[in-house]
Amino acid sequence: MGCDGGTIPKRHELVKGPKKVEKVDKNAELAAKWKYCALSQEKLRRPIVACELGRLYNKDAIIEYLLDKSAERPNAEAVAHIRGTRELNLTDNPEWEGERRNAKGDRYEDIHCGMFICPVVGLEMNGKHRFCYLQTCGCVFSDRALKEVKTEICHKCGDPFKDEDIIVLNGTKEEVDKLREKMEEKRAKAKTKVGFNYDMETFSQLHPCLLHYPQWLPQPSPLQPVTQTLLWF
């Protein structure tokens, strides 16, 4: 029963128990979303763009992905929903030293030091605070700034915006689900507008009888040009 040297092994040395589940540092994982491209996983660098779900990307990574015609493209699920992006107008953090911070390897790098800040209240964009961008102009602010200083004019560039133009960056699962629902609803409306691009006034000028019999108005397919619909009469 003994081993070489007369030692007796203990039970935990002979019986292997379940492996310990490695704990994920949620803070580090959250901070990474604000420093790395959601597609290429490389460090974010200007120009930076965001999608309708509030994810951050390097613009060149998106372009390279679109140009890649290979059958298997990496991280395809990260951009499958994208039909367009907005280039972000970000405000640099004066405390951020970039690659110089730990160039010699002898300095502690604070993962919570954000590259960018809110231009209104100065909060760092590092995952600790909610941040949003405006779809109209691409300017980025903290959620606190948008709530404390109520306005319909962008704090940074002066362009007008509405509440529906505000997109949360790197939001929670619930927030992303709401943004996805909003995105799909918007696209459905856009398809309807393209497919039925006519009004009663236009058709009544060509066919006055439609004023009295609107039920005769043709219902073209979204794939069928309105010019072809005119030929029905």
Domain boundaries, the chain: 26-97+109-171, 200-230
Say if residue 218 is preceded by a cis peptide, omega within 30 of 0.
Answer: no
Average pLDDT, the chain: 78
Q: What is the pLDDT of residues 35-92, one digit of tens each?
A: 999 999 999 999 999 999 999 999 999 999 888 877 677 777 778 888 889 999 999 9
pLDDT at position 119: 97
Q: Of 139, 143, 140, 138, which is closest to residue 128 (Cα–Cα)?
A: 143
Band (pLDDT 50/70/90 cuts) for residue 2 is low
Whether pTM > 0.85 for this model: the answer is no
By CB atoms closer than 10 A (0-12, 13-18, 19+), residue 3 is exposed
Q: Does domain 26-97+109-171 have CATH number 3.30.70?
A: no
> What b/e string do you get for 192-217 counting C-beta neighbours within 10 Å, with b at 16 or more?
eeeebeeeeeebeeeeeebeeeeeeb
Split at pLDDT 50, 70, 90, the class of 212 is very low
pLDDT at 68: 82
d(CA 40, CA 23): 25
Helix (H, G, I), strand (E, B) or coil at 148: helix
**Is 126 exposed, middle or buried (CB count within 10 Å of its CB: 0-12, 13-18, 19+)?**
buried
User: How far apart, in whole angstroms, are the C-alpha atoms of residue 217 and residue 119?
Assistant: 53
